[in-house]
């Protein structure tokens, strides 16, 4: 984030705009909407050099336009300063003067001279949405504004004003802060808000009075837990339902494989509790995690248990769901794109293929007590794809078991490290060489293994570089963005 987003309260505050052309006019319009008291300074003596709308505002509204050169004292007692002369030397002088005086300054189209920049704005007063590209692509910011404008109801501001008119009544009737939060979530999702947006505020007020006075509104809120799959790592693969759960969460209990870009979707005031696990080191035991979930839900909080991939595929989501149900806590499960689907697609490897694999099997390379107890003979069968999770440390023994049960040592195999992320690596070879490939390429995980003829059917769009590592021929592919 290059700029810290904030909103100035400029009502009846003195602001300075230097320049009087069309660029300056656009800034004056915005400042007037914010209620600022504006002084325009311009050395343009010819009225034709001053934007006609500024002259109209001067005549009809009393806008102050001072026709003279900019002076150092012009920046004194200003809430903010804008320079829009479009003359580099003059703009630089205004910027330096304002900065020396400690006044925030914006120089139009010169972010290098600016303390703040003016974003593209969606105005549904009192709701204001600002979109910034940090000065790098203003046209893109304007396009995003247009898209957001099309999505938002015209009466969104009226809805905010309506809610504000009931804030005191809600606070008086619902003492608990979390209870009020739940009330407002219910309101904005309910028929009362819909009535306001449709323009029927009379019906909305009748509905709202009933809602505020209802006994249920004063009850202690009931906690709940959502067990949410965050996908394989790429934040673009997060589902809409998972995003909504994060935005409603009071507490987020998250694992090691959940990156900061995904956590950013949570509310800023949500508590975040890290419970990540790595081989041989658990920040929290599973019993401790269970206790956290129960404790926070019993406090009436909305809890999101955020897991990499899908919570029901080697994510212990089933165990946590059973435990919460035993304690009488409402549980919702939000599926996520599992690592097998996400990583395979990002590497261009089809998990099934009419010519190569009519089945796909997911197995774990790590069990509670060490080596997993698997039906190795069945896994070594033909015409299937084998996907091995959490197997970096045990891949050597896994390959030996499969070869012992008759799987051809030359079966194509791949390991995908940091799947779907920008630093993804895909290393391909044969089953017999897979463990050596992991060691030779320094793969530490998180890694996913795919064994089967589908590896040889991977798409060829990625750049493929052959290399010799420890006498083994490998192919390493960088990340390719593929829709999942």
- Say which CATH number the domain at 39 has: 3.40.50.720
What is the number of domains present in the chain? 4
Same domain, 326 and 274: yes
Residue 348 and residue 410 in one domain: yes
Residue 300 has pLDDT above 50, yes or no: yes
In this model, does residue 384 exceed pLDDT 50?
yes
Domain's final residue, options 302, 337, 372: 337
Distances (CA, A) of 255 to 1, 48, 110, 262: 24, 64, 42, 12
Per the domain annotation, does 90 fall within a domain? yes
pLDDT of res. 232: 92
Q: Do strands 447-451 and 412-417 pair parallel, antiparallel, or not at all (unpaired)?
A: antiparallel
Q: What mean pLDDT do residues 162-173 have?
A: 92
User: Per the confidence metrics, is the pTM higher than 0.75?
Assistant: no
Looking up residue 378, the CATH number of its domain turns out to be 3.30.950.10
**Could you tell me the pLDDT band of residue 146, with boundaries at 50, 70 and 90?**
very high
**Does residue 8 fall inside a structural domain?**
no
Q: How confident is the model at residue 465 (pLDDT cuts 50, 70, 90)?
A: very low
Mean pLDDT score, 273-291 = 81
- Sheet with 80-83, edge to edge strand ranges: 64-67, 37-42, 14-18, 80-83, 105-107
CATH number at residue 179: 1.10.8
Pair (433, 450) in one structural domain: yes
Whether the pLDDT of residue 147 is over 60: the answer is yes
Same domain, 213 and 259: no
311 and 351: one domain? Answer: no
Q: Domain range for residue 75?
A: 14-118
Whether residues 383 and 471 fall in one domain: yes
Q: Do 425 and 320 share a structural domain?
A: no
Residue 419 falls inside a structural domain: yes
Summarised one tens digit per residue, pLDDT across range 15-74 is 999 999 999 999 999 999 999 999 999 998 888 899 999 999 999 999 999 999 999 999
Q: Is residue 458 part of a domain?
A: yes
182 shares its domain with 228: no
Out of 283, 315, 337, a domain closes at 337
Question: Looking at residue 136, what is its pLDDT?
Answer: 86
Q: What is the mean pLDDT of the chain?
A: 88
Catalytic site positions = 255, 277
Average pLDDT over residues 461-467: 34
Same domain, 376 and 299: no
Is the same domain home to 301 and 329? yes
Q: Report the pLDDT value the prediction gives residue 474, as an integer from 0 to 100.
A: 44
% of the chain beyond a pLDDT of 70: 91
Residue 136 lies in a domain: no
Point out the domain boundary residue: 218, 243, 269. 218
pLDDT at 339 over 50: yes
Q: Is residue 464 part of a domain?
A: yes
Domain check: are 351 and 254 in the same one? no
**Does 472 have pLDDT greater than 60?**
no
pLDDT 10s digits, 413-442: 999 999 999 989 999 999 999 999 999 999
Task: Note the pLDDT of residue 24.
Answer: 96
Residue 240 sits in a domain whose CATH number is 3.40.1010.10
User: What are the pLDDT digits (tens) for 190-217?
Assistant: 899 999 999 999 999 999 998 888 755 5
Work out the burial of residue 428: count CB atoms within 10 Å of its CB; fewer than 13 is exposed, 13-18 middle, 19 or more buried: buried
* Position 303 pLDDT exceeds 80: yes
Residue-wise pLDDT tens digits, 441-450: 998 878 899 9
pLDDT attached to residue 130: 94
Q: Is residue 2 part of a domain?
A: no
pLDDT in tens, 80-138: 999 999 999 999 999 999 999 999 999 998 989 999 988 999 999 999 999 999 888 88
Q: Does residue 466 surpass a pLDDT of 70?
A: no
Is 316 part of any domain? yes
pLDDT of 370: 59
In this structure, the answer to whether residues 379 and 433 fall within a common structural domain is yes
């Amino acid at each position: 984030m290059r700029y810290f987003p904030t909103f100035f309260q400029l009502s009846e505050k003195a602001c300075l705009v230097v320049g009087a052309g069309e660029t300056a006019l656009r800034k004056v319009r915005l400042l007037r909407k914010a209620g600022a008291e504006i002084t325009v300074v311009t050395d343009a003596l010819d009225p034709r050099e001053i934007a006609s709308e500024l002259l109209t505002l001067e005549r009809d509204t009393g806008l102050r336009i001072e026709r003279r050169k900019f002076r150092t004292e012009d920046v004194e007692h200003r809430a903010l300063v804008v320079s829009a002369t479009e003359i580099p030397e003059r703009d630089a002088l205004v910027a330096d003067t304002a900065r020396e005086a400690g006044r925030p300054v914006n120089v139009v189209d010169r972010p290098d001279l600016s303390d703040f920049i003016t974003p593209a704005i969606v105005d549904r007063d009192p709701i204001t949405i600002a979109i910034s590209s940090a000065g790098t692509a203003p046209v893109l910011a304007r396009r995003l504004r247009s898209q957001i404008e099309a999505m938002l109801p015209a009466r969104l501001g009226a809805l905010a004003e309506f809610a504000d008119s009931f804030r005191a009544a809600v606070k008086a009737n619902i003492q608990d802060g979390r209870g009020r939060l739940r009330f407002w979530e219910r309101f904005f999702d309910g028929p009362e808000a819909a009535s306001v947006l449709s323009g029927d505020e009379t019906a909305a007020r009748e509905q709202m009075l009933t809602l505020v006075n209802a006994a249920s509104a004063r009850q202690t809120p009931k906690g709940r837990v959502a067990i949410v799959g965050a996908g394989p790592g790429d934040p673009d693969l997060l589902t809409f339902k998972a995003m909504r759960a994060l935005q409603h969460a009071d507490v987020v209990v998250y694992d090691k494989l959940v990156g900061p870009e995904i956590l950013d979707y949570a509310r800023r005031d949500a508590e975040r509790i890290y419970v990540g696990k790595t081989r041989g080191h658990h920040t929290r035991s599973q019993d401790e995690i269970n206790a956290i979930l129960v404790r926070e839900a019993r406090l009436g909080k909305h809890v999101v248990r955020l897991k990499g991939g899908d919570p029901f595929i080697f994510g212990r989501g089933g165990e946590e769901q059973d435990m919460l149900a035993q304690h009488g806590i409402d549980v919702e499960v939000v599926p996520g794109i599992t690592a097998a689907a996400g990583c395979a697609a990002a590497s261009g490897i089809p998990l099934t293929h009419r010519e190569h694999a009519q089945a796909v099997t997911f197995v774990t390379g790590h069990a509670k007590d060490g080596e997993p107890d698997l039906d190795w003979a069945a896994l070594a069968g033909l015409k299937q794809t084998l996907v091995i999770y959490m197997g970096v440390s045990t891949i050597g023994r896994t390959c030996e078991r499969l070869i012992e049960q008759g799987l051809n040592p030359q079966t194509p195999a791949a390991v995908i490290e940091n799947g779907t992320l920008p630093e993804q690596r895909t290393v391909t070879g044969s089953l017999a060489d897979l463990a050596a490939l992991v060691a030779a390429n320094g793969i530490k995980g998180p890694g996913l293994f795919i064994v089967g003829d589908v590896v040889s059917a991977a798409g060829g769009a990625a750049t493929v570089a052959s290399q010799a590592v420890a006498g083994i021929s490998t192919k390493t592919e960088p990340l390719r963005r593929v829709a999942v």
